[in-house]
Amino acid sequence: MRNANVKLIVILFGLILLVAAAGLLTGGKTLLPDSGKGPLTITATEGLIIPNGDKAMPVEVPADTAWLSIRADGFTYAPVPLVAMGEYTFTHPDGSYNILHVTPSSIHMDSADCSTQDCVSQGTASLDILDFRPLGGQIICLPHKLIVELLPGGQQNNIIVLEDSAS
């Protein structure tokens, strides 16, 4: 258990360093989450909202609704309200996949076809334990370059994305 926590802390520290380095390389520019098409094909079980998809967003989302932030291969999707329990399947361009189980207050990577399975073993991120969990609300799949994050109600507008230097 202790080795797993140390490993997660080292991974988190490495990611922080990568983000800081990327900020320096791009001049520290920021932009709001992109709502265009991204590198993933995202499918969802009934009742869940597909980011940037054809499903209409509920007209009014309660203030305490938790949100899902999805980043894949340098692309950030618009945040998605967690209004129901179900699964999101993230299919990458090469056919690989991650399956994320969500509830209105938690996320857990159920399965993935990555070689390390670290994302599956990171456990559940729930609103109750965000302050105590080593990765906070994040679940990270390094082989697939996928980061999903549980955001408490009202924090969906706090997502900052480093601008791609190619832009």
Q: Average pLDDT, whole number, for the chain?
A: 79
Tell me the whole-structure pTM to 2 decimals: 0.72
Cβ neighbours of residue 139 closer than 8 Å, sequence gap 6 or more: 100, 107, 108, 109, 119, 122, 125, 147, 148, 149
User: How far is residue 100's CA from residue 156's CA, in Å, rounded to a whole number?
Assistant: 19
Domains of the chain, first to last: 32-161 (2.60.320.10)
User: How far is residue 109's CA from residue 129's CA, in Å, rounded to a whole number?
Assistant: 16
The tens digit of pLDDT for each residue in 100-145 reads 999 999 999 999 999 999 999 999 999 999 999 999 999 999 999 9
User: What letter represents residue 15's amino acid?
Assistant: L
What confidence tier does 51 reach under pLDDT thresholds 50, 70, 90? confident
